[in-house]
């Protein structure tokens, strides 16, 4: 997704602040308004601290993270941070609602295709292991009934955005936005024009919607696809087949929580028709843009609805300019 097309207006509220920091493997940007300047700075500090906690606890790369500890533990019970427990609980709910199309146990496939590093200390994953073998126990404890390798990269970024929003609201900020590499959430009296990239021409931006209070996340492969042993792969894994999804598609999901939108983009990308039940379960809405050389603008857009998918007409700024 594009960066902010329009920052929240500050005319009626006086002070405003915008800061950015590299976290979660991307750039996290926080913009706030509606409080004294010192209070805004303190709120942003708290929001970045919340993001940092998610980064530290859910990193696949950090050997001290909860994810790495679970991946080393085999069948042992591990006490984790409440945030990690909550993310695993939401991941399980998305998996159940999508018939297993979302699965945080696909790390071995991401390692195989070069998107995640190999860790010598991790337990050998069982071939049959999947999300159903993640046991969530009282007291923020987790047990893997089968050895498996967790990766929360498909949901943790959106969850971190939600945590940052919660920190800003708890600090008394009137309105703001948090954008973590395209996982975006707004609150308060703000609006933002959302654009997405053409799935086969990443420099072309297509206007998607005007977002008010709520969240949106987008998944696509235009920058992440690579050739491995003669075939094109991507970090978007279809959990049903354990194979990388094909390219040429952009999926955006709008939802109340950014973690939900983040996770559902993977479900919709893998199987738009089968994703409708999961979208209804979470009250989400999706827009799918497929590359189509024979269509105007060389793309075709569809939007989810209560009765299925319907064609959506998105203006192409390049075509309009011509």
Domain positions in the chain: 66-144, 191-322
Q: What is the SS3 assignment for 240?
A: coil
The pLDDT, as a whole number, for residue 113 is 86
| pLDDT tens-digit map of 139-184 | 999 999 999 999 999 999 999 999 999 999 999 999 999 999 999 9
177: alpha, beta or left? (left if phi > 0; alpha if psi -120 to 50):
beta
Which residue in this structure is represented by tokens 């983040």? 262
Burial letters 57-83, b for 16+ CB under 10 A, else e: bbbbeeeebbbbbbbbbbeeebebbeb
Q: State residue 317's pLDDT score.
A: 63
Task: Give Dmax over CA atoms of the chain in angstroms.
Answer: 62
The reported pLDDT for the residue numbered 156 is: 97
Residue written as tokens 């949106």? 216
pLDDT value at position 221? 84
From the candidate CATH numbers 2.60.40.150, 3.90.230.10, 3.10.520.10, 3.30.980.10, the one assigned to the domain spanning 191-322: 3.10.520.10
| pTM, rounded to two decimals | 0.91
Residue spans of the chain under pLDDT 50:
1-13, 320-322
CA distances from 109 to 72, 116, 150, 242 (A): 17, 9, 11, 7
Superfamily name with CATH number, domain 66-144: ApbE-like superfamily (1.10.3980.10)
């Amino acid at each position: 997704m594009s960066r902010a097309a329009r920052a929240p207006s500050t005319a009626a509220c006086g002070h405003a602040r915008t800061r950015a920091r590299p976290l979660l493997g991307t750039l996290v940007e926080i913009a706030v308004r509606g409080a004294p300047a010192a209070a805004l700075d303190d709120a942003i500090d708290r929001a970045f601290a919340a993001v940092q906690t998610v980064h530290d606890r859910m990193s696949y790369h950090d050997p001290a993270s909860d994810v790495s500890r679970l991946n080393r533990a085999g069948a042992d019970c591990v006490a984790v941070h409440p945030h990690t427990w909550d993310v695993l609980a939401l991941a399980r709910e998305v998996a159940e609602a999508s018939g297993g199309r979302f699965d945080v146990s696909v790390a071995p496939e991401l390692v195989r295709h070069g998107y995640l590093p190999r860790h010598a200390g991790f337990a050998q994953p069982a071939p049959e292991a999947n999300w159903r073998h993640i046991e969530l126990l009282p007291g923020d404890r987790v047990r893997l009934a089968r050895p498996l390798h967790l990766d929360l990269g498909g949901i943790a970024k959106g969850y971190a955005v939600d945590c940052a929003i919660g920190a800003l609201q708890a600090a008394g900020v009137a309105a703001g936005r948090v954008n973590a590499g395209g996982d975006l959430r707004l609150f308060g009296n703000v609006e933002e024009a959302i654009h997405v990239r053409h799935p086969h021409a990443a420099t072309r931006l297509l206007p998607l919607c005007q977002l008010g209070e709520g969240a949106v996340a987008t998944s696509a492969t235009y920058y992440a696809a690579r050739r491995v042993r003669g075939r094109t792969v991507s970090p978007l894994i279809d959990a049903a087949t354990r194979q990388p999804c094909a390219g040429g598609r952009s999926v955006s999901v709008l939802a109340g929580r950014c973690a939900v939108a983040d996770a559902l983009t993977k479900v919709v990308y893998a199987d738009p028709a089968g994703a409708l039940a999961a979208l209804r379960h979470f009250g989400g809405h999706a827009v799918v843009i497929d590359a189509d050389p024979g269509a105007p603008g060389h793309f075709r857009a569809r939007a989810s609805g209560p009765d299925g998918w319907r064609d959506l007409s998105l203006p192409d700024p390049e075509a309009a300019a011509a």
